Structure 1
Amino acid sequence: MTTETTPRRRPATAPRWAGALAGLLAAATGVAIGSGLAALFTGVPTPIESVGNQFIDLTPAWLKDFAIEQFGTNDKAVLIAGTVVVLTLASLAAGVVGLRRPRIAFAIVATFGIVAVITAFTDRTATAQRALVLIPALVTLVVSLVVLGVLLRALELAPKPGDDVPEGFDRRAFMRAVLVASAGIAVGASVWRFLGSDAGAASRASVSLPAPADAAAPVPAGAQVDLDGISPFITPNSDFYRIDTALQVPQVPVEGYTLRIHGMVDQELNLSFRDLLAERLVERRITLTCVSNEVGGPLVGNAAWLGVLTKDLLERAGVQAGADAVKTTSSDGMTIGTPVEALLDDRESLIAVGMNGEPLPLQHGFPVRMVVPGLYGYVSATKWLVDIEVTRFEDFEAYWTPRGYAEEAPIKMSSRIDVPRSFAEVPLDNARFGGVAWAQDTGIERVEVQIDDGPWQDADLAEEDSINTWRQWSWTWDDATEGIHNVTVRATDANGETQTSERARIVPDGTTGWHSVQFRVA
């Protein structure tokens, strides 16, 4: 007598939602545990961050500018969210496919895991040893595959004794696996959230800045226009724009910090943070502008910066003949090229340690950054600064140069309307307008406004602080008429040059054009 045993097989009865849940939990568990491991080490990005960093490095200039134009300073959050959405959709699909074809499901998950390993290995932001950087990504890959296998196994048909055709799947085994995976997610996420490195924040809290040897003069009483809605003359740190490529703000403690100055110099310098604080510190108010700032855009701010004159340090190092550039590097590997002349002339560029009376905020470069008046940030404003190499432009390519941006990029004269906002309603009996204008290294001499196609009329200028800061303006439309109108602004610098109306794109060296706002008088 022969007894036949019905072989186990992949069923059609396991619901698709269970397969989708299996795929999602597998990916989430791997990412959570890998991220938790990364948080335990300094200088180790999470797998999601490594993928995002690689995406940033491979992003063409037009896409980067589009992202900033559409999302502004939220571009990094959007990138992370997009990465998570793609991973979520792929894991859901893998789980559903895995109900019948588990090998394909494993291949999908493995592909994403291998991408995470490769991006971790090539992540320029990682400062730990490369072998250590790879561990979270490898753990993510292994955990995701193991969890997927366990969950899919639990979704197989569970034969019942005496049945010729097995029914259902092992719900208890599946739920046990779901609970274990969920616990793994909770533990990994908690470690990432609460035990992640805060070395920079802790170090910043311990810093007490000395008084400057050369403090900035008080802000002129007439520098701020009395008009609701106009930008404050000094931009608060919390409102200052942030544009950089760091998905995770680098944590750079002052303990062990060293700024290296080398290259085409007579004497290499290695300065600790204490060394920098012991230098002659000066305070200067300087307006910074991002090259990605559209006409009328918000990516500009004015702050009081405390630091060491780059001229003092470079002269001590001794810049050799033939050097025309300085290559600066941040702690996360970002490189920026700056004309050496801009760091040695009388514009007073700074190796900054303070911003608006306090240590640099982490997102603005703590503990040390560069601030150079008159140059767009991508060629001057290196945050989390750790290395200054005196060199020649022909001997290196900075991060943005191969992406279509110019090697040298002076900030272009510009003006902006702050009041009224687009489509705002302006009272007929108080049609007052205002904004800011800047022409660094020269200064603003005149601002004019135009209503619709009417004549240009002079605005009232606030008192000038310095040629390196923006200047506020205001104007009252005494004979305002009801209806929808446009107001346009243009500036003229101290050399008599008037701002061009010609529109230029962000790439290669910044936008140009007049800012206009449509509003309604009622």
Structure 2
Amino acid sequence: MKTSRGWWAFAGILSGAVGLALSYAAAALLHVRESPVVVVAEGFADLTPGSVVKWAIDTFDKDDKKILVLGIMLFLTVTFAVLGRLARTRWWAAMIGFCALAGVAVIAVLAKPTPSPIDFAPIVVGLLCWIVALAILAEWLRRWEMVADGDEPAIEPMHTRRHFFIAAGATAGFAAFGGLIGRLAGSARRRAEESRRLLRIEGITAPDVPNGASFEIDNVSLWQTPSEDFYLIDTAFIKPTIEPADWQLRIHGMVDREITLTYQDLVSREITQDWITLNCVSNEVGGDLIGNAWWSGVRLAAILAEAGPQEGADAVLQTSEDGWTCGTPLGALMDDRNAMLAVAMNGEPLLIEHGFPVRTIVPGLYGYVSATKWVIDMEVTRFDEIEAYWTGKGWSEQGPVKIASKIEVPHDGDEVAAGEVVVAGVAWFQHTGVSAVEVQVDGGAWKPTELAATPNIDTWVQWRTTVDLDEGDHQIRVRATDRDGNAQTGAIADVLPDGATGWHTIDVSVNA
């Protein structure tokens, strides 16, 4: 036989590519948010242990999802090549392999909170394309082999080879066409962006930085974090795109009255606005997974009061449009803090990446137990009856923020001139507040710093001081004290299971 196994592997890869491309096109045409590859990637991430997820975030930062998708694509490429070679002698084995791949995608869809029949359509399209494409390519490869072996002497070998390459080219063309159609049909993002751009919400005002809140020191975090620079942590491989007219929030469970809110219902209520700092539980000591913004929305306390939580309820299981869940203490949503369904950030409708059209903001809690982007469901329940996304991976059930502070000027490893050196940064303890920040040089006495003004206890506070440094190497650390008089602990703890602790410490070299 003159056809090499490489051509069979090539046929398998080409068949796999056209199936993936046309399943992607089907997902876009049917307005299914997740193509099969994405739904499997999200399912894989859901099943990954929390320690592995933390390692991926720490190692790859914002590229962790891209790395996972690339890894899945590499795995599929190798698998398609193997299935193509199997088809040469064991056609049934190749078909079982394709069905197994489709089965993995089906399981991933079924694992979503509310799968619908239409969600399975792209998987069916992909499977059929795999089988049909490989059958066509395999037919011409077998004819090529038969001619080369002399079993069909009346047919020119070049003729069969040409037909195989024509079939391969057509398959590749279908793959390219499917990818193009998917891209053109994937207009949901564009429609959502257009709706966001044209949206006007009555009662939303532009932010105005409070007097005295910023020392205006270079390299110290801006008091107001620009929306596009605000840190991003979520599990969505493709950000949900929901138009305001299509958004609904269902509040149910242990309540006297189930409530369903439309977007118009929500924004017709009284708008509340406030400066609120958010930080991620994955933020290392001195890390940058933190930001402060002017949030606008509707307080949750009044809405939940209308629903009437029943006796014994102590939690709200929030669900995002992409299926992510978190368990939030019911008391934190109904006390005096400004927990809200936010519709705007820094005076503009939320960015899609930050939860457009509606997300949850709860001061004083880490995001993994409160800050649900693209929120569509709230079930009033009990903590002992639920398991949310991150708590199922080893994180604590309830996540109140911890007092923290960091040095931003100078940076760790900087070289500075001897004499008076400005040391500055930020500190935070949302919903309790910071009363003092101190710095220490080379293990000496703690020195108080000057604090900037803050409009409330839910934001960070800038601090600054000067220290006199001689030539040589020095170590500087910082600690904060809350408004109840409790000093930030120096005990070092990892972010898992409920947030990092320890004093942020930097080393500087001082030149004469």
TM-score of the pair, normalised by structure 2: 0.90
Structure 2: which amino acid aligns with 1:134? F
State percent identity of aligned pairs: 42
Deviation, structure 1 residue 288 = 0.8
Q: For the structure 1 residues 180 and 452, does the alpha-carbon distance in structure 2 shift closer, same or farther, using more than 3 Å as the test?
A: farther
Q: For the structure 1 residues 492 and 21, does the alpha-carbon distance in structure 2 shift closer, same or farther, using more than 3 Å as the test?
A: same
Which segments of 5 or more consecutive residues in structure 1 lack a partner in the other structure? 1-10
Counterpart pick for 2:198 among 203, 206, 219: 206
- Determine if the alignment matches structure 1 residue 332 to structure 2 residue 322: yes
In the other structure, the counterpart of 1:297 is 287
Counterpart pick for 1:79 among 43, 68, 71: 68
Deviation, structure 1 residue 145 = 2.7
**SS where residue 479 of structure 2 aligns?**
strand
- Determine if the alignment matches structure 1 residue 118 to structure 2 residue 107: yes
- Determine if the alignment matches structure 1 residue 154 to structure 2 residue 144: no
Q: For the structure 1 residues 499 and 100, does the alpha-carbon distance in structure 2 shift closer, same or farther, using more than 3 Å as the test?
A: same
- Determine if the alignment matches structure 1 residue 177 to structure 2 residue 177: no
- Determine if the alignment matches structure 1 residue 137 to structure 2 residue 123: yes
**SS where residue 92 of structure 1 aligns?**
helix
User: Does the 8 Å CA contact 1:125/1:332 hold for their aligned counterparts?
Assistant: no
CA distance in 2, matches of 1:175, 1:480: 76
Counterpart pick for 1:286 among 276, 280, 293: 276
Q: For the structure 1 residues 480 and 16, does the alpha-carbon distance in structure 2 shift closer, same or farther, using more than 3 Å as the test?
A: farther
Superposition map of 1:123-272 within 5 A: 123-124=112-113, 126=115, 129=116, 131-156=117-142, 157-160=144-147, 163=150, 170-196=160-186, 197-198=188-189, 199-212=191-204, 218-272=208-262
Deviation, structure 1 residue 507 = 2.6
CA distance in 2, matches of 1:271, 1:220: 33
More helix by proportion, 1 or 2?
A: 2
Deviation, structure 1 residue 103 = 5.2
In the other structure, the counterpart of 2:435 is 445
Counterpart pick for 2:482 among 493, 498, 510: 493
Deviation, structure 1 residue 409 = 1.2
Deviation, structure 1 residue 277 = 1.2
Superposition map of 1:13-162 within 5 A: 13-15=2-4, 17-95=6-84, 104-124=93-113, 126=115, 129=116, 131-156=117-142, 157-160=144-147
Deviation, structure 1 residue 439 = 1.0
User: Does the 8 Å CA contact 2:451/2:464 hold for their aligned counterparts?
Assistant: yes
Structure 2: which amino acid aligns with 1:517? I
Aligned length: 505
**SS where residue 255 of structure 1 aligns?**
helix
Deviation, structure 1 residue 98 = 5.1
**SS where residue 18 of structure 2 aligns?**
helix
In the other structure, the counterpart of 1:502 is 491
In the other structure, the counterpart of 1:318 is 308
Q: Which moved more, 1:233-242 or 1:448-457?
A: 448-457
User: Does the 8 Å CA contact 1:50/1:119 hold for their aligned counterparts?
Assistant: yes
Deviation, structure 1 residue 500 = 1.1
Structure 2: which amino acid aligns with 1:268? E
Q: For the structure 1 residues 141 and 429, does the alpha-carbon distance in structure 2 shift closer, same or farther, using more than 3 Å as the test?
A: farther
**SS where residue 77 of structure 1 aligns?**
helix
Superposition map of 1:421-460 within 5 A: 421-428=411-418, 431-460=421-450
User: Does the 8 Å CA contact 1:285/1:303 hold for their aligned counterparts?
Assistant: yes
Structure 2: which amino acid aligns with 1:234? Q
Deviations 1:340-371 (A, max 9, x none): 11112111211111111011111111111110
Q: For the structure 1 residues 235 and 162, does the alpha-carbon distance in structure 2 shift closer, same or farther, using more than 3 Å as the test?
A: closer
- Determine if the alignment matches structure 1 residue 414 to structure 2 residue 404: yes
Deviation, structure 1 residue 173 = 2.3
Counterpart pick for 1:474 among 461, 464, 483: 464
Q: RMSD in angstroms over aligned alpha carbons?
A: 2.7
In the other structure, the counterpart of 1:5 is none
Deviation, structure 1 residue 49 = 1.0
Deviation, structure 1 residue 218 = 4.1
CA distance in 1, matches of 2:131, 2:395: 42
User: Does the 8 Å CA contact 2:440/2:447 hold for their aligned counterparts?
Assistant: yes
Q: For the structure 1 residues 161 and 339, does the alpha-carbon distance in structure 2 shift closer, same or farther, using more than 3 Å as the test?
A: closer
User: Does the 8 Å CA contact 2:33/2:240 hold for their aligned counterparts?
Assistant: no
Deviations 1:272-328 (A, max 9, x none): 211111111011111111112222222111111101111121223333333222222
Deviations 1:51-93 (A, max 9, x none): 0121122111111111122222332222222211221232234
CA distance in 1, matches of 2:103, 2:62: 30
Q: For the structure 1 residues 161 and 434, does the alpha-carbon distance in structure 2 shift closer, same or farther, using more than 3 Å as the test?
A: closer
CA distance in 1, matches of 2:112, 2:178: 22
Q: For the structure 1 residues 155 and 519, does the alpha-carbon distance in structure 2 shift closer, same or farther, using more than 3 Å as the test?
A: farther
Q: For the structure 1 residues 291 and 154, does the alpha-carbon distance in structure 2 shift closer, same or farther, using more than 3 Å as the test?
A: same
Q: For the structure 1 residues 104 and 520, does the alpha-carbon distance in structure 2 shift closer, same or farther, using more than 3 Å as the test?
A: farther
Q: Which moved more, 1:444-453 or 1:367-376?
A: 444-453
